[in-house]
C-alpha cells in the first residue's frame, strides 16, 4: 500500500470504531457513514482495501463504496486537504489516480476570536446530551445546520443538502485565538466527529489555551475526555509532536482497550520513544475517561498513580495488553 495512504489511514483510525488491521493492505472497522449495525455493537463491516495502486473503502452493510480520497473528504475535510497535498507532492494526481490536483489559495487568513453560536448550555438537546455524559455544556457551542454554518467560517462543503445539528468543540491556540473546531454529531447514524481547521497550519489540538506548561501535561485522545482531566490537551484526529511545543513534562493517555491492536501499537511506540504513558490498572474496566468518571472513579488519582516509562512501562504494558 502507498505510504501516504497508510499514514492517513493511521491518522483517521482513532475515530473509527472497532478499527483493526486484518492483514497487509486490509483494515476493518464500523462504518462511520451508516453507523453499522445498531443491534450488534461489535459488528464491523467497513473495510479499507487496495486495488492496484489505489486504496478504496467498502461497507458491506450500507453498500458505500469510495476511494480513500473521497472517504477522507467526507469524514474530515481538513485531513483530506493535507492528504491531497501529500499525494500531489508525490505526483499522484490526474486522470490515472483518485486524487484531484489541490487548489492553491494564497489569501492571507483571518482568524476569529469567538464563535457566533449559542452555547450548548442554552440549547436543550445539546445541554441534555452533555449533562448525561457528565460534561460542562458551557464549554461548548451548538450549530443547528453544521455544514451551512461551517461554510460561513471557511468554505468547506460543496453539498449541504444532508445537513444536521452538531455540538461544536472549539480549538484555540495559547493566545486564545480560534484555530479550528470539531463538530460532534447528535444523530446516531452519522459520522461522529468532523474536524475543521480555520488555520490549516495550526496543530489539531484541543486545550492549548488552558494548560500550564510548568506542570505535567496529560495528552488525551478526545476533547470531551480532556475536560475531565486537569492540565490536559486532546488529540483531534492527528498525532502530536511534543518537541514542537518545547514541553518537558508530558504524559500520554490512551483509551483502556487492551484488545485494540491500533491502540496497543501506539502505546508500544510511545514507550519505545522513552515517553511517559498511563497503563490502566486491572480494577478499571471502562474504556475511556468519560465512562470512568461516570462509573465513579477518581480519575486524577488513577492517572497520577499509574504513570510509567522505560522498563517499568514495558513490564506493565505486557501485563495489560491482550493482543
The arithmetic mean of pLDDT across residues 97-119, rounded, is 62
Same domain, 187 and 262: no
210 within a domain of the structure (yes/no): no
74 within a domain of the structure (yes/no): yes
Last residue of a domain, one of 202, 235, 268: 202
In the chain the first and final C-alpha atoms are separated, in Å, by: 24
Q: Can you give the pLDDT at residue 95?
A: 45
Q: Is 311 left (phi over 0), alpha (psi -120 to 50) or beta?
A: alpha
pLDDT tens sequence across 294-310: 999 999 999 999 999 99
What's the total number of domains in the chain?
A: 3
Range of the domain at 12: 3-89
94 within a domain of the structure (yes/no): no
| Residue 312: CATH number of its domain | 3.40.1360
Same domain, 229 and 312: yes
Three-state DSSP class for residue 232: strand
Q: Can you give the pLDDT at residue 38?
A: 75
Same domain, 136 and 194: yes
7 within a domain of the structure (yes/no): yes
Angle at 75 (CA atoms; ends 73, 76), nearest 5 degrees = 70
Provide the grid cell at 264.
496497543
Same domain, 185 and 266: no
Q: Which range is least confidently modeled, 13-17, 95-99, 151-155, 306-310?
A: 95-99
DSSP designation for 23: E
Same domain, 243 and 186: no
Query: Helix axis angle, 77-89 relative to 3-12, nearest 10°?
Result: 170
Please give the share of the chain, as a percent, with pLDDT higher than 70. Answer: 91
| Residues contacting residue 161 through CB under 8 Å, at least 6 positions apart | none
Q: Which range is least confidently modeled, 178-182, 240-244, 260-264?
A: 240-244
Query: Is residue 305 within a helix (H) or strand (E), and if so which, with residue range?
Result: helix 299-305
Closest CA to 230 of 311, 157, 299: 299
Confidence band for 252, pLDDT divided at 50, 70 and 90: very high
Give 219's strand partners. 233, 252
pTM: 0.70
Query: Helix axis angle, 68-75 relative to 77-89, nearest 10°?
Result: 150
Last residue of a domain, one of 46, 69, 89: 89
The arithmetic mean of pLDDT across residues 241-256, rounded, is 87
Same domain, 230 and 190: no
Maximum alpha-carbon separation in the chain: 56
Burial class of 248 by CB neighbour count within 10 A (0 to 12, 13 to 18, 19+): exposed
- pLDDT at position 142 over 50: yes
Last residue of a domain, one of 144, 175, 202: 202
Same domain, 252 and 194: no
Q: Can you give the pLDDT at residue 214?
A: 92
109 within a domain of the structure (yes/no): no
Strands 276-278 and 250-252: parallel
Residue that is written with C-alpha cell 495489560 in the block: 320
Q: Can you give the pLDDT at residue 85?
A: 84
Q: Can you give the pLDDT at residue 291?
A: 95
Please give the share of the chain, as a percent, with pLDDT higher than 90. Answer: 52
Same domain, 42 and 72: yes
pLDDT tens sequence across 33-80: 888 877 788 889 999 999 888 899 999 888 888 899 889 988 888 888
Closest CA to 191 of 154, 221, 166, 225: 166
Same domain, 225 and 276: yes
Q: Can you give the pLDDT at residue 93?
A: 57
| Residue 149: CATH number of its domain | 3.90.980.10
Closest CA to 115 of 140, 95, 93: 140
Q: Can you give the pLDDT at residue 96?
A: 42
- pLDDT at position 98 over 60: no
Provide the grid cell at 100.
484531484
Q: Can you give the pLDDT at residue 91?
A: 66
234 within a domain of the structure (yes/no): yes
Strand ranges for 73-138 from DSSP E: none
Same domain, 168 and 236: no
Residue that is written with C-alpha cell 463538530 in the block: 183
236 within a domain of the structure (yes/no): yes
Amino acid at each position: 500500500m502507498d505510504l501516504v495512504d497508510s499514514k492517513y489511514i493511521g491518522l483517521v483510525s482513532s475515530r473509527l470504531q472497532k478499527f483493526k488491521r486484518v492483514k497487509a493492505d486490509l483494515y476493518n472497522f464500523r462504518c462511520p457513514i451508516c453507523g453499522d449495525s445498531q443491534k450488534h455493537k461489535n459488528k464491523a463491516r467497513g473495510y479499507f482495501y487496495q486495488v492496484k495502486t489505489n486504496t478504496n473503502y467498502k461497507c458491506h452493510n450500507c453498500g458505500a463504496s469510495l476511494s480513500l480520497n473521497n472517504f477522507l473528504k467526507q469524514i474530515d475535510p481538513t485531513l483530506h486537504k493535507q492528504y491531497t497535498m501529500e499525494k500531489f507532492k508525490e505526483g499522484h494526481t490526474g486522470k490515472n489516480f483518485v486524487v484531484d490536483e489541490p487548489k492553491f489559495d494564497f489569501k492571507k487568513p483571518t482568524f476569529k476570536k469567538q464563535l457566533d453560536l449559542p452555547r450548548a448550555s442554552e440549547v436543550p438537546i445539546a445541554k441534555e446530551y452533555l449533562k448525561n455524559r457528565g460534561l460542562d455544556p458551557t464549554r461548548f457551542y451548538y450549530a443547528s445546520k453544521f455544514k451551512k454554518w461551517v461554510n460561513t467560517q471557511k468554505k468547506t462543503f460543496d453539498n449541504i443538502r444532508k445537513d444536521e445539528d452538531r455540538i461544536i468543540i472549539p480549538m484555540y491556540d495559547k493566545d486564545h485565538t480560534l484555530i479550528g473546531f470539531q463538530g460532534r454529531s447528535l444523530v446516531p447514524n452519522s459520522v461522529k466527529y468532523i474536524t475543521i481547521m480555520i488555520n490549516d497550519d495550526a496543530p489539531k489540538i484541543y486545550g492549548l489555551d488552558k494548560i500550564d506548561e510548568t506542570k505535567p501535561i496529560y495528552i488525551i485522545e478526545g476533547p470531551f475526555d480532556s475536560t475531565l482531566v486537569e492540565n490536559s490537551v486532546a488529540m483531534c484526529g492527528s498525532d502530536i509532536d511534543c518537541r514542537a511545543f518545547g514541553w518537558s513534562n508530558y504524559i500520554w493517555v490512551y483509551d483502556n482497550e487492551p484488545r485494540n491492536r491500533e491502540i496497543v501499537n501506539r502505546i508500544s511506540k510511545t514507550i519505545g520513544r522513552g515517553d511517559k504513558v498511563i497503563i490502566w490498572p486491572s480494577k478499571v474496566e471502562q474504556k475511556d475517561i468519560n465512562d470512568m468518571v461516570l462509573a465513579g472513579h477518581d480519575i486524577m488519582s488513577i492517572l497520577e498513580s499509574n504513570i510509567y516509562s522505560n522498563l517499568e512501562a514495558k513490564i506493565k504494558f505486557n501485563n495489560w495488553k491482550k493482543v
